[in-house]
């Protein structure tokens, strides 16, 4: 059945081993982020086989699935700031959660007290990316509040970079996070075990030997899944780039003009398209559209060019491939957005290869 995602579990495990070795050589124990595959259990098992001891996700549904399968053999980390309404589930299923709101931390404390648990949290600090996190100058007042909560254990500080504001991890901003840890402890706070220095965007600094001493935790998703750091999307040496392949089937193959005929208005998604006049060319339509997947993909065959797509169809220029026929399959490498949507989509089949 097509379209499908071909998932190479052996290559995912290989990537995990490469990145674990790279991190551990620098004193960093990373977690594997599963949200890019909707916490697919086969992929999660490949991470665990590679040696990861902690799996992280942003959705409670996914955390529950992971905890239900692995039980207490792995630790779970909730990436998205918890909703007050889900605090009961957070305490039940998450070993640790990332937090930035005192009202939510107090609710977690209340719930943990009722069930006789101590919930671990990492306090997120905003170092300029302007997504989640408290402002550094507010950390002291937060510290005074959380130290009085009997059922909350603050185990670390963390930050998120590049995801919203595109702010690149640097020696300066990550050193600031380490300095905030020192200030916390100088004020008499409980020693912090974890300083979580971001996500796959910190891998470039790690490879260059520039990550500050004191950063001992990273949250790795795209680098594990697609073999790229996320600043310039450069290939991480010794990792695989083709861990996932999107495969679609050609349903139409015709020679047509390269520019539509008639007055151009908005397309189905409210955009006014523009076209390059290439004359008559050979066009293939693949049964794969925006309802299935984000169309930001790279054809494996470099002679193929993606022209665009609608909700149901992907249009390709295949002029340089005269032997193609209807029913042939075309393979693509997804970017992170395409992978995320494809793994979530009920219309895209999943096929596993390289399973141990």
Of 293, 353, 336, the residue nearest 7 (C-alpha)? 353
How many whole angstroms separate alpha carbon 224 and alpha carbon 35? 12
Catalytic residue among 4, 35, 65, 67: 35
Cα distances (Å, whole numbers) of residue 23 to 35, 101, 111, 234: 21, 30, 35, 17
| Radius of gyration in angstroms for the set of CA atoms belonging to the chain, rounded to a whole number | 23
How many whole angstroms separate alpha carbon 276 and alpha carbon 17? 45
Q: For the chain, how many residues are written?
A: 356
Of 206, 281, 261, the residue nearest 236 (C-alpha)? 206
Coil, strand or helix at 238: coil
Three-state SS sequence of 243-288: CEEEEEEEEEEEEEECCCCCCCCCCCCCCCCCCCCCCEEEEEEECC
Number of Cα atoms under 13 Å in the Cβ half of residue 305: 10
User: What element of type H or E holds 154?
Assistant: strand 152-158
User: What element of type H or E holds 42?
Assistant: helix 41-50
How many whole angstroms separate alpha carbon 34 and alpha carbon 17? 16
Would you call 254 a catalytic residue per the annotation?
Answer: no
How many whole angstroms separate alpha carbon 183 and alpha carbon 125? 14
Coil, strand or helix at 92: helix
Instruction: Tell which phi-psi region holds residue 2, choosing left (phi > 0), alpha (psi between -120 and 50) or beta.
Output: beta
Core vs surface per residue 99-112: b (16+ CB within 10 A) or e: bbbbebbbbbbebb
Q: Which residues are catalytic?
A: 35
């Amino acid at each position: 059945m097509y379209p499908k995602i071909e998932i190479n579990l052996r290559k995912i495990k290989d990537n995990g081993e490469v990145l674990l070795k790279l991190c551990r050589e620098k004193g960093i124990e990373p977690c594997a982020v599963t949200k890019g595959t909707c916490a697919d259990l086969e992929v999660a098992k490949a991470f665990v086989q590679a040696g990861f001891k902690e799996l992280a996700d942003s959705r409670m549904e996914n955390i529950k699935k992971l905890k239900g399968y692995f039980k207490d053999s792995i630790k779970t980390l909730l990436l998205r700031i918890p909703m007050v309404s889900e605090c009961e589930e957070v305490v039940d299923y998450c070993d640790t959660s990332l937090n930035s709101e005192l009202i939510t931390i107090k609710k977690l404390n209340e719930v943990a007290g009722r069930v006789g648990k101590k919930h671990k949290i990492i306090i997120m600090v905003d170092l300029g990316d302007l997504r989640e996190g408290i402002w550094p100058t507010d950390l002291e007042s937060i510290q005074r509040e959380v130290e009085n909560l009997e059922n909350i254990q603050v185990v670390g500080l963390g930050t998120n970079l590049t995801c919203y504001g595109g702010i690149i991890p640097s020696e300066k901003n990550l050193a600031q996070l380490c300095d905030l840890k020192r200030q916390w402890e100088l004020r008499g706070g409980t020693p912090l075990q974890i300083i979580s220095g971001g996500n796959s965007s910190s891998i470039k600094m790690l490879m260059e030997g520039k990550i500050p001493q004191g950063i001992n935790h990273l949250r790795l998703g795209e680098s594990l899944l697609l073999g790229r750091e996320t600043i310039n999307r450069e290939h991480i040496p010794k990792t695989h780039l083709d861990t996932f392949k999107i495969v679609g089937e050609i349903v139409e193959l015709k020679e047509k003009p390269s520019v539509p005929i008639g007055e151009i208005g908005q397309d189905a998604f409210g955009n006014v398209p523009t076209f390059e006049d290439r004359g008559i060319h050979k066009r293939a339509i693949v049964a794969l559209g925006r309802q299935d997947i984000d169309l930001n993909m790279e054809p494996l065959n470099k002679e193929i060019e993606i022209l665009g797509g609608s909700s149901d169809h992907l249009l390709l220029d295949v002029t340089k491939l005269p032997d193609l026929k209807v029913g042939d399959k075309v393979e693509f490498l997804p970017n992170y957005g395409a992978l995320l949507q494809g793994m979530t989509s009920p219309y895209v089949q999943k096929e596993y290869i390289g399973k141990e």
